[in-house]
Amino acid sequence: MAFFKSKKFIIALVVIAVLVFTNIVISSLGPTEQFSAELSYRSNLGKCPTRPAGTMALQVVKTFEQSHSLRDVKMKIVNEKWNDKYFVSDYKIQYDPFSKVLDLNFNCPEPLMKVQIYRKDSAESYEAILVDNGQLYDPTYEALLRSEKKLTQDLPYLSMPVGEMEDKVQADVTGLVKEMRPGLRKKLSEVILNENKELTIILSINGHPSSVFMGLDEWNDKLVKLDKIVNYMELKEKIPAIINLTNSKKVVVKFKDKF
């Protein structure tokens, strides 16, 4: 009986020693290293160019491994302006503590136009890309998308003086282009906003230019009329050289040769 108790005591000591040793090993690894080894992630980069969006994904994972906090990750995204730096307009980050999987869902805006901004009485100008959320992106964004074949069609131009680059103007022009039906939008060649904030649209119809004067306001209502005019003229096989919608109650159309 004494031998049996002694044997049970020895087994208990061995179990305790194993547990202590295991804790020492885990402690030596450190909580961050252990967490990193267990963490996995899934990423969906949506319409984004792979290189910048992938870099942002790695930065997110690295930050989460260090802090174990989604709040810290989102704060870092905002404070370091990762959205602008990596062209990511929308993101959703979730973590499942049971499966230890970090889910990353990114998306990027659609490029609408090449913007040429010029200074009054100056030959100087600079370019940007107007995207579908009304923001201006660096031309690098277009180049990245084209290199990955995520953008194949030509972009129309938007030309305006530097003094007119306001959030409202960008939003109005963005809304106008997005409102166009695909058939009309494919004909869009250039949009010009002058110093008086008067809008002119240049369409390319079968390779022939048509100038559309939209005036100062009511652009969306005038767009509906423009679409009907272009459809009608195509059926009649006529090219409208000039469509004057400055006065929405009086539409003036001048023609040129037949198709």
CA distances from 112 to 22, 91, 136, 183 (A): 59, 21, 10, 15
Residue 234, pLDDT score = 84
**Segment 113-139 mean pLDDT:** 85
Strand 238-244 and strand 136-137: the pairing is unpaired
In a domain, 4, yes or no: no
pLDDT tens, residue by residue, 203-225: 998 888 999 999 998 999 999 99
Question: What confidence score (pLDDT) does residue 257 get?
Answer: 56
How far apart (Å, rounded) are the C-alpha atoms in residues 191 and 194?
10
Query: Within a domain: residue 76?
Result: yes
Per-residue pLDDT, averaged over 176-202, amounts to 92
Answer with the one of 107, 131, 162 that is the final residue of a domain.
Answer: 107
CA dihedral 194, 199, 204, 210 (to 10 degrees): -100
Residues 98 and 165 in one domain: no
Q: Is residue 188 part of a domain?
A: yes
pLDDT tens per residue across span 77-122? 999 999 999 999 999 999 999 999 999 999 999 999 999 887 766 6
Pair 124, 234 in one domain: yes
On whether both 200 and 246 belong to a single domain, the answer is yes
Q: How far is residue 259's CA from residue 210's CA, in Å, rounded to a whole number?
A: 13
Q: Tens digits of per-residue pLDDT, 172-188?
A: 889 999 999 999 999 99
Q: Which residues of 164-188 are buried (b: 16+ CB within 10 A; e: fewer)?
A: eeeeeebebbbebbeebeeebeebb
What pLDDT band is residue 170 in, cutting at 50, 70 and 90?
Answer: confident
pTM equals 0.77
Has residue 14 got a pLDDT over 80? no
- Domain end position, chosen among 107, 135, 161: 107
- Give yes or no: residues 139 and 158 share one domain: yes
Identity at 147, one-letter amino acid code: S
Residues 65 and 121 in one domain: no
Host domain of residue 31:
13-107
Please check whether residue 60 is in contact with residue 104, taking contact to mean a CB–CB distance below 8 angstroms: yes
Residues 94 and 42 occupy one common structural domain = yes
Q: What local confidence, expressed as pLDDT, does residue 139 receive?
A: 95
* CATH number of residue 165's parent domain: 3.40.50
Beta strands in 120-237 (DSSP E): 125-131, 136-137, 157-161, 188-193, 199-205, 208-215
Residues 164 and 204 in one domain: yes
> Is there a domain that residue 131 lies in?
yes
25 and 151 part of one domain: no
Claim to verify: residue 146 and residue 101 sit in the same structural domain: no
Domain end residue (candidates: 83, 107, 131): 107
With respect to residue 2, please indicate whether it lies within any of the assigned structural domains: no
103 assigned to some structural domain: yes
pLDDT digits (tens, 9 = 90+) for 32-53: 454 556 789 999 999 999 999 9
> Domain check: are 78 and 123 in the same one?
no
C-alpha count within 13 angstroms, C-beta hemisphere, residue 216: 2
129 and 230, same domain (yes or no): yes
Q: Is the confidence at residue 8, as pLDDT, over 80?
A: no
43 part of a folded domain: yes
Q: How many C-beta atoms lie closer than 10 Å to residue 223's C-beta?
A: 21
The whole-number pLDDT of residue 5 equals 45
Helix (H) or strand (E) holding 169: helix 167-179
Residues 143 and 174 reside in one and the same domain: yes
In a domain, 7, yes or no: no
Tokens 């267990």 -> residue: 38
* Residue 21 CB contacts under 8 Å (≥ 6 apart), including other chains: none
The count of structural domains within the chain is 2
